[in-house]
Amino acid sequence: MAVSTLGSGNLREALKLPPGEDKNEWLAVNIIDLVNQVRMVFGVLCESECTDIKCPSMTAHGRKYTWTSDETVLNTSAPQYIDLSLTSCQLNIDDENVFPSEIGKQFPANFEERCQTIMRRLFRIYAHVYFAHVSHFKEIKALPHLNTSFKQFVLFANQFHLLNKEETEPLREIIENLVSFS
């Protein structure tokens, strides 16, 4: 099955760690970009398509995601879950102790783990979008944009082992189609 994307050149090569670049700085720059892309993707939906009424729970391909905070599990609507996820990602990015903005400043020892958490949250947003709202992207002729954004996300996650296979299972077929010819 062919998956329509924008003419994006060789994303796999573009996402490789450049020689001499600090891996953590590369992770940080790209994750900030990916968070911003997901924010834009969700922005296409948030006004009328993904509402508390239309999406009373955060689901994707048979999975229901719940928000866990301080040992409390919250059943939230999809927009609430997405807002909590994006807020959490932004709080990490804005924290100088996690994502230092000064070049050469030390990243925390658990930086890759923090990156994995951010990527897992972003993946769940993509999963919900593909599960519940892909028809809207088709309708407004923005599916190639969604696919290109997700392809970049997947290639980056795969390159740096930021998501486990079990987590990505809900979108396995889409992932295989997007990256099979990259």
Domain ranges of the chain: 23-181
55 is in an annotated binding site: yes
Percent of the chain with pLDDT over 90: 67
CATH 1.20.140.30 fits 23-181, yes or no: yes
- Around 121, how many Cα atoms within 13 Å sit in the side-chain half-sphere? 25
How far is the CA of 164 from the CAs of 80, 154, 155, 159, 172, in angstroms?
Answer: 25, 11, 13, 12, 12
Averaged pLDDT for residues 116-142: 94
115 is in an annotated binding site: no
Averaged pLDDT for residues 106-132: 96
> Worst-scoring range by mean pLDDT, 46-50, 87-91, 95-99, 130-134?
46-50
Averaged pLDDT for residues 58-79: 89
- Around 102, how many Cα atoms within 13 Å sit in the side-chain half-sphere? 5
DSSP state of 50: S
Amino acid in position 106: Q
pLDDT band at 73 (very low <50, low <70, confident <90, very high): confident
Averaged pLDDT for residues 85-108: 93
**Residue 152: closest CA among 1, 35, 23, 64:** 35
Q: The tokens of 182 are what? A: 């990259």
50 is in an annotated binding site: yes
- Whether residue 181 is predicted with pLDDT greater than 70 in this model: the reply is no
pLDDT band at 112 (very low <50, low <70, confident <90, very high): very high
CA angle 113, 119, 120 (to 5 degrees): 90
Please state the φ and ψ torsions of residue 105, each to the nearest 5 degrees: -70, 145
pLDDT band at 103 (very low <50, low <70, confident <90, very high): confident
State residue 5's pLDDT score: 52
The terminus-to-terminus CA distance of the chain in angstroms comes to: 14
State residue 74's pLDDT score: 87
Per-chain mean pLDDT for the chain: 89
Separation between Cα atoms, residue 144 and residue 4, nearest integer Å:
5
Structure confidence by residue, pLDDT tens digits, 9-58: 676 788 888 898 899 999 999 999 999 999 998 888 767 899 999 999 99
The residue with greater pLDDT, 179 or 115, is: 115
145 is in an annotated binding site: no
**Residue 124: closest CA among 46, 2, 38, 43:** 38
**Residue 180: closest CA among 155, 145, 149, 157:** 155
pLDDT band at 2 (very low <50, low <70, confident <90, very high): very low
